[in-house]
Amino acid sequence: MLYELLVPLARDSIVFNVFRYITFRSAMATVTAIALSFLLGPWMIRRLRALQYGGETIREDTPERHRTKAGTPSMGGFIILTALLVSTLLWTNLHNRYVWVLMVATASFAMIGFLDDYRKLRTKKGLRAKEKFGAQILSVGCLMTWLYLWPPDGFTTALSIPFFKGWLLVLGGFWVPFAVLVIVGSSNAVNLTDGLDGLAIGPIVMAGGAFAIIAYLSGNFRLAEYLRILNVKGTGELAIFSAALVGAALGFLWFNSYPAQVFMGDVGSLALGGALGTLAVLTKSELLLPLIGGIYVVEAVSVIIQVAYFKATGKRFFRMAPLHHHYEMEGWPEPKIIVRFWIVSFMLALLALTTLKLR
């Protein structure tokens, strides 16, 4: 919005020329998102607490220490989404179709998460798995099909292979189901990780920062050519969304850090996971997503292993799944688990970025 309003003024005053630069607008998007989170957070938390009566219901099978969290308001993802989307609308070039695809995907998953959270508050049971997955696949499937059939300039269905210069895997018509798999998988992996105060939102900061760099590089022809990565025209604007994501996540972490004043709920976790998956798809870094979001992958895989092992043997592989609950059952303090997972997430994000040069 500000881009459309202020860039034309650069012809009359050089001061407004700064709004042309993605780096400047990315920095401002981060600051704006943090400021909005701080401004809206206390009011939204009060409103959520008033509307939700008893607040979050704690499952019977969770560790005993979680009982003290009963009554904490949920659906705090609205704080993140408001800060993220408003900042994106303010600072991106709204003529860029990739920006709209990313915002619509994020909002779609947020709506599904809201319906799940709302039903939990009213009936203590959320959406059935078939309903949730069906809605996710349908929404993102329609969006990716539209993008595939009416692509913007520079769009490609090729996959860039890490560590190999010039190695591409062109998916063609298989790109749509592959993109849906990546985005839906990412969304639910983040959702599974959201079990401790600040655990899910911390790695979002790392991942958002990594994707901001990747989007900027992939959208810049000269830098992409130098690094031998896919150049996708227009994806540079996604760096601004990613930067806003970092700001919104940091702002929410202020209220979600241990002991949490608010939980993000499915409205937040599904939307954030969907945003990461969509960023990976649009910037052609799908094969880097398991590294960038490594914590989420490990958490999701731990659940799959637990279920498969129990069905095969009747015994549990972990003391409890997802993995963070296993460490809780081992006696690790909650803050120690959270910070250690953050450290691992930071290391994985750095490792993913190094692969851009190691080709």
Question: What are 52-62's pLDDT values in tens digits?
Answer: 755 565 555 56
Stretch 235-262: mean pLDDT:
97
pLDDT of residue 53: 58
Bigger pLDDT: 65 vs 21: 21
Checking if the pLDDT of 354 tops 90, the result is: yes
Residue 92: band (very low, low, confident or very high) from pLDDT cuts 50, 70, 90: very high
| Sign of the torsion formed by the C-alpha atoms of 253, 266, 304 and 169 | negative
How far from 271 is each of 102, 111, 342, 352, CA to CA, in Å?
Answer: 11, 8, 20, 22
Stretch 122-146: mean pLDDT:
93
pLDDT of residue 70: 72
DSSP string covering 316-339: -SSSSSSHHHHHHHTT--HHHHHH
Checking if the pLDDT of 100 tops 80, the result is: yes
194-240 residue pLDDT tens: 999 999 999 999 999 999 999 999 999 999 999 999 999 999 999 99
Checking if the pLDDT of 179 tops 70, the result is: yes
d(CA 342, CA 176): 32
Stretch 67-72: mean pLDDT:
72
Residue 125: band (very low, low, confident or very high) from pLDDT cuts 50, 70, 90: confident
Stretch 297-302: mean pLDDT:
96
pLDDT of residue 50: 87
Residue type (1 letter), 9? L
Q: Which among 265, 297, 4 has a CA at the least distance from the CA of 127?
A: 265
Q: How many CA atoms within 13 Å lie on the side-chain side of 265?
A: 33
Out of 14-28, 49-63, 230-244, least confident range: 49-63
Question: Which position has the token pair 């309003």?
Answer: 5
Q: Take residue 219 and report the two structure tokens written for it.
A: 């959208």
pLDDT of residue 7: 80
Q: Is-contact 219 232, C-beta < 8 A?
A: yes
Checking if the pLDDT of 123 tops 90, the result is: no
pLDDT of residue 352: 96
Stretch 309-321: mean pLDDT:
93
Stretch 326-353: mean pLDDT:
96
Checking if the pLDDT of 64 tops 80, the result is: no
Checking if the pLDDT of 121 tops 70, the result is: yes
For the chain, percent of residues with pLDDT exceeding 70: 96
